[in-house]
Amino acid sequence: MAPAGWEVIGVLDTDGDCAEWTFPAEPGAVRAAREAVRARLRAWELGTLADVAALLVSELVTNSLRHATGPIGVRLVRPSGDDGVLLVEVSDPLPDPPRARSAADEDESGRGLQLVARTSRRWGTRPGRGTGKTVWFELAIPR
């Protein structure tokens, strides 16, 4: 569920082991995605990951807004069995993979991918379904 007042283009599934949302490429998408991720993780009783997952989703959705046009997809896959890993994906229609930058101390941007790389268990990119790309990361479930 997205927060009241924020547009969600589509919600594919939020009941099972997967939750997917599609947000318009507008500034409000960052907040809506962050809040949707937090709410779903709390509903799945994975609240310990809610803040870090929301932060990393914010970084990736912001990158999508800066560099791509078109809808932005966010997908969570809850671990099953002994997997112990939450998979998070952010997709957009731009096929070019993101490039990590080395930000200077005074730069106000350029640290998002570094944050994803240092905070997640693993991360990467892959071509999207049909067009675009998906940037994904994994978070280990605390035991």
The most confident of the ranges 2-6, 65-69, 119-123 is 119-123
Ordered structural domains, the chain, with CATH = 10-140 (3.30.565.10)
24's CB contacts (< 8 A; 6+ apart) are 7, 9, 71, 72
39's CB contacts (< 8 A; 6+ apart) are 1
> What pLDDT, on a 0 to 100 scale, did the predictor assign at position 9?
53
**Model pLDDT for residues 122-136, shown as the tens digit of each residue:** 999 999 877 899 999
Burial classification of residue 7, based on how many CB atoms lie within 10 Å of its CB (0-12 exposed, 13-18 middle, 19 or more buried): exposed
Check whether 1 has a pLDDT greater than 50: no
**Model pLDDT for residues 8-62, shown as the tens digit of each residue:** 555 555 556 899 999 999 989 999 999 999 999 999 999 999 999 999 999 999 9
- What is the pairing mode between strands 133-140 and 122-127? antiparallel
> What pLDDT, on a 0 to 100 scale, did the predictor assign at position 6?
47
pTM of the model: 0.84
* Residue of 136, 139, 128 whose CA lies nearest to 52: 139
- 1 vs 75, which has greater pLDDT? 75
Alpha helix locations (H) across the chain?
28-43, 50-67, 112-119
